[in-house]
Each structure stands twice: as structure tokens, then as C-alpha cells.
Amino acid sequence: MVSHLVLRYLVAIVSTTAAHYSSAFKADMSSCPSDIPLSCTNSSQIPDTCCFEYPGGVLLQTQFWDYDYPTGPDDMFTLHGLWPDNCDGTYNQFCDSSLQISNAEEVLTSFGEEQLLERMHEVWKDYQGDDNNLWVHEFNKHGTCLSTIKPSCYQNFETNREVVDYFRKSVELFEGLPTYRWLEAAGITPSDSHTYSKQQIDEALKSRFGKEVYFKCDRNHALNEVWYFHHLRGSIPHGNYVPIDALISSNCPAFGIKFPLKKAPSTSTNTATGTETSATSTATPTGNGGYLKLENQAGCLISNGKWFASGTCATYKLSKASFGGYQLTSSKGVCGIDSDGYFACGRGVTAAQFDYDSSSGYVTYGGQSGWSADRVPSRNVQVPIMPGSGRNVNFSLIYETR
Ligand SMILES: *[C@@H]1O[C@H](CO)[C@@H](O)[C@H](O)[C@H]1NC(C)=O
Ligand SMILES: *[C@@H]1O[C@H](CO)[C@@H](O)[C@H](O)[C@H]1NC(C)=O
């Protein structure tokens, strides 16, 4: 009963905030029924009326603490993105190439959104200084996966209208989640000497957000990202975002978490050198490339991306893509996921972003923990593989450097 009341209270807060926001929207989508279920909590099919975000019904508002390449104000976590995760924590990406943009600033300017653009330049920062590039990436990778801002959801749709709505909502959600202020109020401030415990940070954020907040540490045990999870009632621009517990738990150590100061770059004009350039020097283990092998299975992937048990392994190049992901390339071309859901490399394939864990060597896709195939290839047969465990034979994919 108590928790039910707390939940109602939170919903009320969020609704009030959202009602305030929605007056700023000009899109003329028909308004959504107020009894539409929260995303990911429906017990029956919901018709696609642009009022129910699906399949990405878990909405994450993610933020950076970029201390390494210091960016943004010294007392602000900066905006990373607004991401739709599936209800089980996996996610889709680059969902509709027909909606992709190549220049976010141009889109915003063409809609007369100078004020929003200016705010984005303050809070939505790329650590390499190319903010526009980060925004383009976020929209193309995540924004194109949102079902309630598809062009067909708008009356009198103007090309890229949904891009503006995506950026606007990202900024508004971000502004309601002032991580730095919340930590500061709990006595957690950047320092070169102090460290903090996981419990301290956890409690400081949870007491404000109302639910477990995910925070991430980098290799130096330093806080560098914070993610807030929500379910959504209604559409991306107009709906109510209801806090939920993070679907994953923090990788930070129990004690000794650093919260480094954002240091002004050294006086030298060349800020890209030195020892702190983790983004480039965590080094892509590419060098000579490597093989993609299946754990506990014979064979490996050949250059078109298929599993072959009785031939020579193809050489793959694994390279760090912008903003966290990895790209795979074989002699046939870039690798991605084809329209049937299978891994493929070659001309005509849209490059996807994979995840790679350098300590285990595992390569994964879309938050899925492994890969699967219909069967183990018999001699001279090539078998396609797919992310996730949907097929009969499950395995992990390992990148083995040459
Ligand atoms: C929730 O709605 C979606 C979209 O209609 C549907 O695909 C899914 O199966 C529904 N979930 C349940 C548990 O019925
Ligand atoms: C593959 O893995 C999934 C989830 O781990 C499991 O449910 C499924 O039964 C597995 N399939 C086989 C054939 O082992």
C-alpha cells in the first residue's frame, strides 16, 4: 500500500512536469487516451496508434561526466541521449535509414529552432568538440527507432519534424534530471583527493529520482556516466515519463569511486596529446585484425559473415566507432544486420555498431548476450548467425586478434 502511494505520488509529479512541457510542442498529433497502458506493462496487444512506444518501451535519459576530455560546464553532467530499450533490456539501433539525417544543426535551423540549438550547444556536448556529430549519431542510432514519432504519426508532416521533437524532448528530460546538483546536495562533489562509496552515490540519486539509477565507472574507477530509466505513457513528445528502476546494476566498485574534476585542458594548444586521451588510446585492438570464432564450436566466420566449419577464417577489422560502439569490417565490406536479422558483411550492408569487451573478447550486438544459428554447419555449408538466442544453437562470438 505504501509503495503504491509513493508510486502514485511520483506519477503525479512526472505528469505535472510533462503537462508543463507539452505546451511547448507544436506537433498536431491527436491526443492519446489517458488510459493507455504504460509502455512495457500491457497485458494484451495495443494497436499502433502512435500513443504506445513499442518495442522500445524503456526510455533512458543518459548523461556523461566527461572529465577526461573536459567538456561542458564544470558543474554539469552533459546530455548523452534519449534511448529506447526493449522491455527486456536489449535494444534496436539504426532502425530506419530513410529517416537518417546528416546535419542536425541544419534541421533545427530550418525549423526556426535557434533557441533549442543554442541550449543544445550548452548541454549536449561532444568530447571531441563536434556537437553536431554527436546529435546526428544519437538521432540516427536511437531516434529512428521510436514508434510514436514516426512521420505517419503527424498530421501535415514536414520532413524532419520528428527530429526536432526528439532533440527537444531529450533536452527537456535532461533538464529535469540535474545529476550534479543532486550529488552536490548529498556532499558528493568532484575532487582529486576524495573518493565515494557506491552506496553514497546510489542513495543520493535514488532519493531524488525515486528509483534505482544506473551509474557507470570507467577503467580508473571514476564516475563517467549516469542513466535514468523510464516507462512512458503516451507519445515521446507529449507522454508522461515514469521513473523505473534501472535494468542493470552499476559496474562501479563498492568503495573508492572517483569523481574527478573537469580540468581545464593544459595551456598547450594541443589538447589531444598526453596520457588522458582514453577515447583514442584505449585502442582499438585492430592492428592486424583478427578472427571471429564461436566459443565451444568448430569453425569461424568467413568474409560474408556466415559460419563455416571447414575453411579458413576471414580476417576482420574491429575499429572503435564514435560514442562507444565498434564497427566490424571484412574484405567484403562493412558488417551489419541484414533485413532478416542475420549478421552480414559486404556491399549494400549498413554498418552496425557492435559491443566488444576487450577482457573477454566477446562481441555482442544490441544488448543481446550472445548469438545463435539454426544449426551447426556440416561440411561445405555456410550457416548464417543472428544476435540473441532465438535459434537452436547458442554461442558466444569471440574476437581473437591475429
Ligand atoms: C504489448 O503490446 C505490443 C504492441 O501491440 C505487443 O506486441 C505485445 O505482445 C504486447 N504485450 C503483451 C504481453 O501482450
Ligand atoms: C539458448 O539460450 C536461451 C536463453 O539462454 C535458452 O532459453 C534456450 O533454450 C537455448 N537454446 C538451446 C538450444 O540451448
**Residue 300 φ then ψ, to 5°:** -165, -175
Query: Do 78 and 135 share a domain, yes or no?
Result: yes
Over range 385-398, report the average pLDDT: 95
What residue's CA is closest to ligand 2, atom 3? 389
Considering its fold, how many domains does the chain have in total? 2
146 and 249 in a single domain? The answer is yes
Residue 296 belongs to a domain with what CATH number?
A: 2.80.10
Which segments of 111-178 does DSSP mark as H helices, in order? 114-123, 131-141, 161-175
Range list of β-strands (E), 193-308: 195-196, 214-217, 223-233, 240-244, 257-258, 290-294, 300-301, 307-308
**Would you say the CB of residue 22 lies under 6 angstroms from ligand 2?**
no
CA 20, distance to chain mean position in Å, is: 26
The ligand whose atoms approach the alpha carbon of 40 most closely is: 1
Cα angle value 86/245/177 (rounded, 5°): 95
What pTM did the predictor assign?
A: 0.74
Query: For residue 16, what pLDDT is reported?
Result: 37
Q: What is the distance, to the nearest Å, from the Cα of residue 367 to the centroid of all Cα atoms in its chain? A: 10
Mean pLDDT for the chain overall = 87
Q: What is the pLDDT of residue 14?
A: 41
The domain boundary residue, chosen from 215, 235, 258: 258
How far is ligand 2, taken at its centre, from the CA of residue 368, in Å? 13
Ligand 2 within 6 A of CB of 369 = no
Q: Is 396 in the pocket of ligand 2 (CB under 6 A)?
A: no
30 — pLDDT class (breaks 50, 70, 90):
low
Our answer to whether residue 80 is catalytic in this structure is yes
Q: What range does the domain containing 313 cover?
A: 290-401
113 and 231, same domain (yes or no) = yes
Tell me the average pLDDT across 71-84.
96
What CATH number should be reported for the domain holding residue 163? 3.90.730.10
Q: What pLDDT is stored for residue 279 in this prediction?
A: 35
| Rounded distance from Cα 137 to ligand 2 centre (Å) | 33
Considering the domain architecture, whether residues 122 and 180 belong to the same structural domain is answered as yes
Mean pLDDT over 307-313 rounds to 89
Amino acid at 183: L
pLDDT at 273: 32
Q: What is the pLDDT of residue 270?
A: 38
pLDDT for the residue 81 = 97
Is position 47 within any domain?
Answer: no
Told to judge if 138 belongs to the known catalytic residues of this protein, a careful annotator would answer yes
Q: Which of 53, 80, 162, 212 is catalytic?
A: 80
Which one of the ligands is nearest to 43 CA?
1
- CA angle at residue 126 from 120 to 127, to 5 degrees? 140
Closest protein CA for atom 13 of ligand 2: 392
Mean pLDDT across the stretch 313-328?
87
**Band of pLDDT at residue 286, cut at 50, 70 and 90:** low
Q: Are residues 79 and 164 in the same domain?
A: yes
Nearest CA to ligand 1 atom 9: 45
Quick check: is 15 in a domain? Answer: no
pLDDT at 12 over 60: no
Co-location of 232 and 171 in the same domain: yes
CA distances from 64 to 46, 182, 312, 377, 396 (A): 35, 15, 42, 44, 30
pLDDT of residue 380: 87
200 and 82 fall within a common domain:
yes
Looking at the fold, whether 229 and 349 belong to one and the same domain comes out as: no
> How far apart (Å, rounded) are the C-alpha atoms in residues 214 and 250?
6
Task: For residues 266-278, give the mean pLDDT.
Answer: 36
Q: Which of 258, 276, 311 is the last residue of a domain?
A: 258
pLDDT given at position 163: 98
pLDDT at 394 over 80: yes
Ligand 1 is surrounded, with C-beta below 6 A, by 42-46, 54
